[in-house]
Amino acid sequence: MKRQPLLVVEDLRVTFDTPRGRVEAVRGVSFELGREKLGIVGESGSGKSQTGRALLGLIAGNGRIEAKRLSFDGIDLLAADQRTLRSIRGARISMIMQDPKFSLNPVISVGEQIVEAYRVHTKASKREARERALNMLSAVRIRHPEHVFDAYPHEVSGGMGQRIMIAMMMIPEPDIIIADEPTSALDVTVQIQVLAILDDMVKERGTGLLFISHDLNLVASFCDRVLVMYAGRVVETVAARDLRSAKHPYTRGLMNCLPRIEGDGSDLPVLKRDPEWAQ
């Protein structure tokens, strides 16, 4: 028998009102997320982040979320009251945001922020929380966790900031992790090590991972399935291992844009968009 999916999304729409009219950022997206690694790829502005954020209700003030169904572990997220939503956010569904540096408070030390984030969701003592924070920092391969614990956000490199955010989101052991470009600032060896930690959470704890990324090769090798988004829609859903041989001309166009290590350095093909894809 098939296991109940963790998350069911049906006909999700995100619309923004702007002085220049309505922007339909997400236009009828449907998918289910099980205890798996589901990738979302697509060009900039295609609606990947807004899809992820809508699941937590984190849409800007001028935006509106609509859906036929949005359910998490049997809870109807559209009908849930604020209290229920607050108890889900962060603790049961957490999101690693696209801009780590913007998400950290510049005047509070890194360690204090992780400890506070953890204590919001648990009754852990300060000492316990500190212990876990340090463990988590070394788990995401930060070399001198004590040094980084006391550092302020402007004193850490781009890649460290990203790992600090990942550590912060994983400490409460949520059921679903929405990771928006979580490793774009990491060097590739650290990247695959951090992904291995997420991979373990999926395999060992049954976490559902929604993995948003521009990096098609990474998604192809890391995820189980992939949603390919264009202009607010899913144009194609493929098994990750088949991404490199995808049928849709848009997906193929994206793959062709990639420079290759073995390439000869000549100009890269750029995407030629077809209005048909948006239909």
Partner 1 sequence: MSVAPMIEVDGLEVVFGHGSRAFRAVRGISFSVEAGTSFGLVGESGSGKTTVLRAIGGLLPQSAHVSGLMRLAGETLGIERSRAFRRRVQIVFQDPYGSLHPRHTVDQILGEPARVHGLHRVDDRIRRALLEVGLDASFRFRYPHQLSGGQRQRVAVARALIIEPEIVLLDEPTSALDVSVQAEVLNVLGRLRREHGLTYVLVSHNLAVVSHMCDQLAVMQHGMVVETLNVGQMRTDTPEHPYTKQLVRASRGYDRAAVETLEEFEV
Ligand X SMILES: Nc1ncnc2c1ncn2[C@@H]1O[C@H](COP(=O)(O)OP(=O)(O)OP(=O)(O)O)[C@@H](O)[C@H]1O
| Chain residues 151-210 in contact with partner 1, contact rule CB under 8 A | 155-160, 163, 184-193, 195-196, 199
Q: Measured from the CB atom, is 1 or 188 closer to partner 1?
A: 188
Q: Which SS3 state, helix, strand or coil, does residue 77 take? A: coil
Euclidean distance between CA atoms 10 and 113, whole angstroms: 35
**Shortest distance (Å) from residue 57 CB to Mg ion:** 17
Q: Measured from the CB atom, is 68 or 147 closer to Mg ion?
A: 147
Euclidean distance between CA atoms 165 and 161, whole angstroms: 6
Q: Measured from the CB atom, is 134 or 165 closer to Mg ion?
A: 165
Number of residues that bind Mg ion (CB under 5 A): 2
What is the number of other CB atoms lying within 10 angstroms of the CB of residue 210? 26
**Shortest distance (Å) from residue 226 CB to ligand X:** 14
Euclidean distance between CA atoms 196 and 193, whole angstroms: 5
Q: Measured from the CB atom, is 44 or 82 closer to partner 1?
A: 44
Euclidean distance between CA atoms 30 and 246, whole angstroms: 20
Binding site for ligand X (CB under 6 A): 16, 18, 23, 25, 42, 44-50, 60, 62-63, 98, 155-159, 185
Q: Measured from the CB atom, is 129 or 235 closer to Mg ion?
A: 235
Q: Measured from the CB atom, is 74 or 265 closer to partner 1?
A: 265
For 133-168, what is the HEC assignment?
HHHHHHHCCCCCHHHHHCCCHHHCCHHHHHHHHHHH
Of 110-118, 153-161, 164-172, 235-243, the window that binds Mg ion (rule: CB under 5 A) is 153-161
* Neighbouring-strand partners of residue 234: 229
**Shortest distance (Å) from residue 220 CB to partner 1:** 7
How many residues in total does the chain contain? Answer: 279
Percent helix, percent strand, percent coil in the chain, to nearest 5: 40, 25, 35
What is the number of other CB atoms lying within 10 angstroms of the CB of residue 30? 15
The answer to the question of residue 270 lying near partner 1 (CB under 8 A) is yes
Among positions 84, 271, 274, 278, the unique one binding partner 1 when judged by CB under 8 A:
271
User: Could you give the angle at the alpha carbon of 65 between the alpha carbons of 64 and 71, nearest 5°?
Assistant: 160
Largest CA distance in the chain: 58
Which of ligand X, Mg ion, partner 1, none interacts with 265 (beta carbon under 5 to 8 A by kind)? partner 1
**Shortest distance (Å) from residue 235 CB to ligand X:** 13
Question: Which stretches of the chain bind partner 1, using CB under 8 A?
Answer: 42-45, 99, 143, 147, 155-160, 163, 184-193, 195-196, 199, 214, 216-218, 220-222, 253-254, 257-263, 265, 267-271
